[in-house]
Amino acid sequence: MEVFTSIEELGRSTDRPIYLALGMFDGVHRGHLAVLKKAQGIANEKEGVAVAFTFPEHPASFLRPDETPRLIMNQEEKAMRLLERGMAGVVLRTFDREFASVEARHFLSFLLARVRSLKGLCVGQNFRFGRGRKGDDLCLQEYGDEVGLSVDVVQSELFSNSPVSSSRIREALKFGKIEEVNEMLGWIYTITGEVLPGKGMGKKFGFPTINIPWIPQARPAYGVYVGMVHDDSGERNPKYAIANYGLRPTVEEGATQPLLEVHVLDSIEEGFGNVGQKLSMTLQYFLRPEKKFDSVDSLKSQIKEDLLRAETMRQEA
């Protein structure tokens, strides 16, 4: 199996029983993972395959462009996460006029006409479908009975007594509540990018950095984070690191493109962090917001405090 750009491609790819997990899956969070696990369990019992059906962009970008949520992850990362979580395939179908016009009652017929071996669906309890989002999970189960498809509705996962949702994660990201983000995701929030040459300021200050430009739709709060950084080799060998994500207001006036400046606290091998290398950093703790200091000396003093805090956190972990 693989990543498909249409439901028709999926239908042509196999004759085995197909069980679809349906959803936007932005963030592939704990609630999504429960839906995926359910689809996988049923597919295994029935000797079929579990496939995620989702969209590369949020449906609101077509229906209500001015109200489109900022996505936690791009389509490539989402597909990768879904496959890593055990899905046999992923359908990334563009949400367009054809899809938006399908009436709720005809939704399952629309799918069955394109995937003859479709046997069942798994959705979250807040799933909506059909023209005008008129169909809900109860409708889906009713229509499933009519056409002979199993429909399993998975209850929401809770965090702080409220359902985990992509919108809650976006809000927590915005305010630097990275530990809450990680709890709701069920995995550690990760930044991945290609190392670009810097201006050498960190090295001059005595704190050399690896510079990774990174501009997601849903951005974490600008500030200082602690986590682990690794390359994309097979062994990875993660290293403890501290990083500033933001616009560097003390040393660069008028910057508009955020940058992740990573200072590795472990020893590193020759070549680690070279320009052009692809690196990933997990954000595990948020130390403080980014700020503009009145002098470079004040900035250096704060960096030393940040480093001490990061080392203390490592010892206490």
Model confidence pLDDT, tens digit, residues 185-220: 999 999 999 999 988 888 888 899 999 999 999 999
Alpha helices in the chain (DSSP H): 7-13, 30-45, 60-63, 75-84, 97-100, 107-114, 137-147, 166-174, 178-185, 201-205, 296-316
Evaluate if residue 163 carries a pLDDT over 80.
yes
Look at residues 172, 175, 287, 284 and name the one whose alpha carbon lies nearest to residue 224: 287
Least confident of 61-70, 170-179, 235-244: 235-244
What is d(CA 230, CA 92) in angstroms, rounded to the nearest whole number?
A: 28
Residue whose token pair is 């992923």: 90
What's the rounded mean pLDDT across residues 87-114?
97
What is d(CA 283, CA 177) in angstroms, rounded to the nearest whole number?
A: 10
pTM of the model: 0.94
Per residue in 114-153, pLDDT tens? 999 999 999 999 999 999 999 999 999 999 999 999 999 9
Sketch out the chain's domains with CATH numbers: 3-163 (3.40.50.620), 188-316 (2.40.30.30)
